[in-house]
Amino acid sequence: MRRGNNRSLSFTQLLIRMDPGNKPMVQIVSLRKELSDEASSSKVASSSFRNNSSSLWRNTGVEVFSRSSREEDDEEALKWAALEKLPTYNRLKKGLWSGSQGAASEVDVDNLGYQERKNLLERLVKVAEEDNEKFLLKLKDRIDRVGIDMPTVEVRYEHLTIDAEAYVGSRALPTFINFCSNIVEVSGRVTYNGHDMHEFVPQRTAAYISQHDVHIGEMTVREALAFSARCQGVGSRYEMLAELSRREKAANIKPDPDLDIYMKAVATEGQEANVITDYILKVSTLKRLL
């Protein structure tokens, strides 16, 4: 046998070539195959372990964050359930305030400060041109969801006739004497929300307001708006909010926390002027002039 041929043969093939009838040589071939299979199985097991450990780490991370989010939601749900157990009067004075860390805390609507009102409006109406319509639709949807109709004035007339005389000169000036003298005569039947004219005082229901506004020159824009809001008061907003809260509690409806605080603030005497003033300055161009 030549050396050149020996170099081209493997060790096991060389042994078999040297002695084909030797059985131990065949066992060596079989042993070599088993060792090769075990090495392949070891590689597959190692790769599978790395994949499983990586997947386990990723899943653990997801579970950690999702568990934290669930715990915050459960804590907020417990705090809201505690507020729901309060009487209606006390419930309208409380709200859930979401801080920068995401945790919700109970807040007294009567004690909202300037920075808290600013942060509240910033979350509700961040960009006035884009978010104001969304904010107003949220208000409408919350009220419509429980079937509350907002108070309106419905005027109906039947066989209505109006007689008036036109005057010129000094008689046409809108003075108090001329107003009493130039009385318009109305005939027919006119009702306001189903009530006849003799059942209430129409002058307290409807009034004419001229386009010439008179402001107190010593007041700033904010002070003038706050004074106007204070004069108007909360009106029927408190009664509407009380009915809204009762219906939501009966239907097990949880409102948006920020929207809930805003509606409670504008229905609270003493706080409504501040919140409404901040809102008007937020959505109008007046804020840029201050």
User: What's the one-letter identity of residue 112?
Assistant: L
Beta strands, E only, the chain: 94-98, 104-108, 155-163, 185-192, 195-196
What does the pLDDT look like over 70-82, one tens digit per residue? 666 777 788 888 8
Q: How far lies 144's CA from each of 147, 149, 283, in Å?
A: 5, 7, 24
Q: What is the DSSP letter of 167?
A: -
Pairwise CA distance, residues 266 & 269, whole Å: 8
The predicted model scores a pTM of 0.61
In percent, the amount of the chain with pLDDT more than 90 equals 17
What pLDDT band is residue 233 in, cutting at 50, 70 and 90? confident
Q: Which residue has 């006390």 as its token pair?
A: 90
Residue with the larger pLDDT of the pair 138 and 285: 138
pLDDT in tens, 131-188: 999 999 999 999 999 999 887 878 898 888 888 777 777 777 777 777 767 777 778 8
